[in-house]
Amino acid sequence: MPRESNQLDVLIIGGGIHGMYLFHLLRQKRSELIIKIADPHPAPFYNWRHCTSNTGMRFLRSTGVHHLDVDPLSLQKFYKKHGNEIRKPYISPNNRPSLSLFNNHSDKILSDYDLDTHWVQTHITDIDLSEEGVRVNTLEEEIHCKHVILAIGNGGQLRAPFWAEQLAVHSFPILHIYSSEFEIKNYKPGFHSVIVGNGMGAVQAFIKLANSHSDKITLITPSQIKVAQYDIDPGWMGPKYLTNFHQEKSYQNRRKLINSARQRGTITPEIDRELKQVLKLGHASHIIGSIKNAELFGVDNAYLKLENDEAVFCDQILLGTGFDPVINSELVQKLKTNESLKCAECGYPIVDPFLRWHPNLSVTGELAELELGPAAKNIIGARHAGQRICNLL
Ligand SMILES: Cc1cc2nc3c(=O)[nH]c(=O)nc-3n(C[C@H](O)[C@H](O)[C@H](O)COP(=O)(O)OP(=O)(O)OC[C@H]3O[C@@H](n4cnc5c(N)ncnc54)[C@H](O)[C@@H]3O)c2cc1C
């Protein structure tokens, strides 16, 4: 079919780690393709930078070969050449890179491109798929392309417990640590702040705030915090477990495998050590228990009631309760309804080995997990998805 004058070859929706890895890979391997990236933020990696900075995270949980460049040793080479000013570039085991090394390396990779000519700052509201091509709608314009790639991360889906929503309705100061409204550097302690959640995000934010302020702060975790080097057994990042996963034909069983592989709510050993240190400070404490309900108390305070009937009074709450599934995002919901794309019982896309959900639409990240397994949304997942999508285009 002849190309319409304004038709792109590929539109990548989402300029996070997944979208930008794909962009870089396609520019390296298929430089003849006309590619754009659509994202509501002014520059790449907005969510990554915002979320990692709000947790106070200093080292990635993944290893030094999980990064944005094609050559697995690229980060190491970059450090040797440019990383001298970084005081502690890696943490063991497996050379987990510091956040600043990872970010500087990512920026260096993208500095080879004139991003202004590829970046469309917009929010995609709708996608119309046909055999001839794709029409993508934004609030301002229509974009036409041959192929579209969904790299929307969690699609902006923050998870909040029901009691938090009730407090928020009454304008009680309760924010998600990943919300665009929250900046950890602007945090002002009250008489008693509470952080809820038991993963790396919640615990690191708690450590950061407890170390930088002396007012009372409590971490409430629904269960005992577990310690594990990784959130997923590294066997899931290569053939060790993925070979069997791909032989499994039932998507229900694949979903069970994914769910049981994820070690939710775990923290790394060095964060566990930091947590123990911080709990020695008089103003920081940790309570294990599920919050049953929450009520306003007086004008400015809230009263959190735990399953064991313990009560906690506070005047602000931070939620480190993670993300809701991307399949609940508006764009994915619309696609499912309007285009009748195939989904498994769990609601996730059934995609082919090239990660196509439709002949003209591919997915990466969490949306590809029934094909890529439990590490699909991690950086290694971006690398696996990139290879497959690149082989198709
Ligand atoms: C604090 C934290 C630390 C992590 N650490 C690690 C780690 O050490 N190692 C690891 O492997 N993984 C880690 N992860 C997991 C994962 O690698 C990251 O979340 C990663 O940033 C995901 O990248 P992404 O591109 O899929 O999503 P995002 O970074 O969320 O990017 C998606 C982009 O799509 C845009 N978008 C969404 N909807 C639309 C739309 N309708 N139209 C246009 N654009 C849209 C968003 O605005 C966003 O810019 C971490 C996650 C978090 C939150």
Check if 381 has its Cβ closer than 6 Å to any atom of ligand 1.
Answer: no
Instruction: Look at residue 85 and tell me whether its pLDDT is greater than 80.
Output: no
Alpha-carbon gap, residue 223 to 44, rounded angstroms: 36
> Closest ligand 1 atom to the C-alpha of 125?
41
Residues 125 and 211 in one domain: no
Domain boundary among 319, 335, 366: 319
Please report the pLDDT score of residue 3 as a whole number. Answer: 46
Please report the pLDDT score of residue 4 as a whole number. Answer: 52
Distances from the Cα of 375 to the Cαs of 49, 99, 177, 250, 306, in angstroms?
20, 19, 23, 19, 33
Q: Which of 213, 218, 214, 181 is nearest to 197 (CA)?
A: 218
How far does the centroid of ligand 1 lie from the alpha carbon of residue 297, in Å? Answer: 37
Query: Is there a domain that residue 303 lies in?
Result: yes
Residues 64 and 191 in one domain: no
How far does the centroid of ligand 1 lie from the alpha carbon of residue 45, in Å? Answer: 8
Please count the structural domains in the chain: 2
188-192, 233-237, 319-323: the lowest-pLDDT one: 188-192
Alpha-carbon gap, residue 288 to 242, rounded angstroms: 35
Higher pLDDT, 231 or 131: 231
Which phi and psi (to 5°) does residue 77 adopt?
-65, -40
Here the tokens at position 249 are 């034909």
Domain boundary among 275, 295, 319: 319
Residues 6+ apart with CB under 8 A from 138: 38, 120, 122, 123, 124, 125
Ligand 1 pocket: which of 18, 23, 36, 48 to mutate (most atoms within 8 A of CB): 48
Higher pLDDT, 157 or 36: 36
Please report the pLDDT score of residue 92 as a whole number. Answer: 87
Residues 167 and 312 in one domain: yes
Ligand 1 pocket: which of 102, 143, 379, 380 to mutate (most atoms within 8 A of CB): 379
- Domain containing residue 383: 8-156+325-392
Average pLDDT across the chain, whole number: 93
Ligand 1 pocket: which of 46, 152, 159, 178 to mutate (most atoms within 8 A of CB): 152
Confidence band, pLDDT 50/70/90 cuts, at residue 67: very high
Residues 194 and 300 in one domain: yes
CATH no. for residue 181?
3.50.50.60
Query: Is there a domain that residue 75 lies in?
Result: yes
Query: Percent of the chain beyond pLDDT 90?
Result: 83
Instruction: Look at residue 1 and tell me whether its pLDDT is greater than 50.
Output: no
Q: Which of 40, 34, 31, 44 is nearest to 10 (CA)?
A: 34
Query: Is there a domain that residue 238 lies in?
Result: no
Query: Is there a domain that residue 74 lies in?
Result: yes
Here the tokens at position 175 are 């924010």
Check if 60 has its Cβ closer than 6 Å to any atom of ligand 1.
Answer: yes
pLDDT in tens, 87-126: 889 998 888 999 999 999 999 999 999 999 999 999 999 9
Query: Is there a domain that residue 223 lies in?
Result: yes
> Which amino acid, 83?
G
Residues 330 and 312 in one domain: no
Residues 107 and 17 in one domain: yes
Confidence band, pLDDT 50/70/90 cuts, at residue 6: low
DSSP-H helix ranges across 189-344? 200-212, 239-247, 251-261, 269-278, 330-339
Helices 74-82, 99-110: axis angle to 10 degrees equals 100
Query: Closest Cα to atom 29, ligand 1: which residue?
Result: 16
Here the tokens at position 83 are 């990383």
Query: Is there a domain that residue 1 lies in?
Result: no
Check if 17 has its Cβ closer than 6 Å to any atom of ligand 1.
Answer: yes
Please report the pLDDT score of residue 132 as a whole number. Answer: 82
Alpha-carbon gap, residue 57 to 207, rounded angstroms: 10
Radius of gyration of the chain, Cα coordinates, nearest whole angstrom: 22
Residues 313 and 182 in one domain: yes
Ligand 1 pocket: which of 12, 24, 37, 39 to mutate (most atoms within 8 A of CB): 39
Check if 51 has its Cβ closer than 6 Å to any atom of ligand 1.
Answer: yes
How far does the centroid of ligand 1 lie from the alpha carbon of residue 216, in Å? Answer: 32
Domain boundary among 319, 338, 356: 319
Q: 């306003």: which residue's tokens?
A: 296
Instruction: Look at residue 2 and tell me whether its pLDDT is greater than 80.
Output: no
pLDDT in tens, 271-300: 999 999 999 998 999 999 999 999 998 878
In sequence order, the β-bridge partners of residue 318 are 175, 195
Please report the pLDDT score of residue 5 as a whole number. Answer: 52
Higher pLDDT, 140 or 37: 37
Helices 239-247, 251-261: axis angle to 10 degrees equals 150
Residues 115 and 172 in one domain: no
Q: 């029901």: which residue's tokens?
A: 162
Query: Is there a domain that residue 309 lies in?
Result: yes
Residues 15 and 61 in one domain: yes
Check if 97 has its Cβ closer than 6 Å to any atom of ligand 1.
Answer: no
Query: Closest Cα to atom 34, ligand 1: which residue?
Result: 14
Give the pLDDT mean for 113-140: 93
> Closest ligand 1 atom to the C-alpha of 379?
11
Q: Which of 70, 109, 44 is nearest to 390 (CA)?
A: 70
